[in-house]
Each structure stands twice: as structure tokens, then as C-alpha cells.
Amino acid sequence: MQLQQTLRKSYLFEGKGLHTGRVARMTVSPAPADTGIVFKRTDIGEDALVEALAENVSNTARSTTISKGDASVSTIEHILSALTGMGVDNALIEIDNVEVPILDGSAKPYIEAIWKDGFQEQDAPRKYIELKETVEVVNEKGSVVRLEPADDFSYDIKIDFNSKVLGVQHAQWDSSVVYPEEIGVCRTFVFFHEIEFLFNNGLVKGGDVDNAIVIVEHPVTKEQVNNMSRLFNVPSLEVREDGYLSNLQLRFTNECARHKLLDLIGDLRLCGGFLKAKITAEKAGHGINTTAAKQVRAVMSSRA
């Protein structure tokens, strides 16, 4: 029997939010059995709690936001993914601002802090989410998230942005894949041509060349690249032969697909626990991921 687990101690993380640019201090702490994962907005008050559940999703524009009452927390997917990938059932996440720090754009900082200490077993069995029927969500963009009944978990994702740089990429996670080494370290990505648009629309105010892979899909001038350098206040950047901006070296050839898998794992944690399901996704994003989580919650609720 798999017992529930929590952290051995508290961990502090501090940094700016990717979209708001606001600096937040976030503490991830142990929590009692059967708590699940709960966020607390310490800047609002003691009762400003938001459970990491799909019914609390309030926005999925470029990241996942959950809200309850006056309390909202955005860009929660990376910390939820990290806790899921490391096998944490219960945690209290206290944060003094609206957005989780982006850190390096992956779950690596969480893994480096927490993984080495191990986890505290709790005197309660893990509550798995076991489906009896397939849940499938399809949208008008051709995106699909499908969860099928299974005896164990497996995730398989395909990304296709019609990009000559990225191509079509796949990534997968099951019990044979070491999440902290092979999934959790993979960083978010953005297309060069999207960045100006995102800035102009009030997003990625906290983005910089330390926390995102930049894909240069279309030809750009030296002036455009220099403007990007000035925007991020870094020394001169270049476009590499493989079509990526020279700010980062890829950790895997399919790091972008692995990051989308990281996001999917985090978003599906909003089902309320650990899934026993065969999960396949194509062209997935936060909107369809969280819709699938809501449908799973609805199916499980109707069965209770």
C-alpha cells in the first residue's frame, strides 16, 4: 500500500512572476494527511486559502490561475508539477503576491531544494484517482487530451506548432522515467515573434533570457535581435544555426515537448490527486488541460 507523503521541512523561493513581473516570496511547507495541495495568500489574510482543484480555475491565458473569494494565485503549474513528479500528496504553499515566481522557467529549483531531503510518510493511504471510463476533451484548434482507465499512470504528449525549428516533438512520462532528471528540468519556451505582442498585452513582464527558450521561427534582422538584447538588458544575442536564440543551451533536443509535459502534469494535478490513467495529449495547453481536469472531477463526483 502506497502511503501519503509530505515534505520534511519548509522551503522558501523568491523571484518575479513571468507575466506580472511582481516579486513574490513563496514558502512550500509540510501539511497533514488528506490536505492535498493548498495555496495561502499571506498578503490578504489567514483565511485566504485556495485549494489546488479544477473547480477553482479562473484563467488559463498563458498560465493557470486558481481563485477562491478574493484570493487568486497564478502560474501554479510548475510547482504543482514538481510536487506531483516527486510524489508529494500534501503541501501548504504560502505566497505573498498574486503570481508564483518563474525562477528558471522549469521545476528544477524546486527539485534541487526538496528532492535531496526525501519525504515524510504519513499514516494514511494514498488516494488514487481511478477512472472507470474514458474522459476526452477536443477543441476547435485540434487539441486533444484523453484519459483512459489504466492500472498505473502514463503520460504521452505530442506538440506541433507548425514550426520548422521545433518540428513535431513527443515526450512521455511513466514509472520508468525519472521525473526530477528528465521532465522537471525542462524550461518554458516562447517564439521570438510573440514576445513583443505579449509585452504589449501586459504579459511576460517578468520574462528574461534566463527563464525561457526563445525560438526564432521567421527571419529576423540584426536590429531586431539587438532590440531584444536591449529589452532584456543583456549583452548582444545571436540566432543560432538551429533556430534558437543564443541565450540558452537546450537540456534535451525535445526540451519544449518535455516542458509541455511538465505543464500537463501540473494542470492535471488539479484533478485532486494522483491519476491512475493512460493520458495522451496533442497540441495541449492550459485551457484544455484544466477542462479535462474539471471533467475528471465531475465524473468522480457523480460516482461518489
User: Which sequence positions are flagged as catalytic?
Assistant: 286
* DSSP three-state, residue 77: helix
Task: Answer positive or negative: Cα dihedral of 22, 272, 49, 34.
Answer: negative
The Cβ of residue 162 has, within 10 Å, a number of other Cβ atoms equal to 8
The grid coordinates listed for 220 are 529576423
Burial class (CB in 10 A: 0-12, 13-18, 19+), 235: exposed
Kind and range of the H or E element at 298? Answer: helix 286-303
CA angle 202, 268, 8 (to 5 degrees): 95
- Confirm if 247 and 214 have CB atoms less than 8 A apart: yes
Residue 289 CA to residue 296 CA, distance in Å, equals 11
- Confirm if 217 and 253 have CB atoms less than 8 A apart: no
The grid coordinates listed for 168 are 513535431
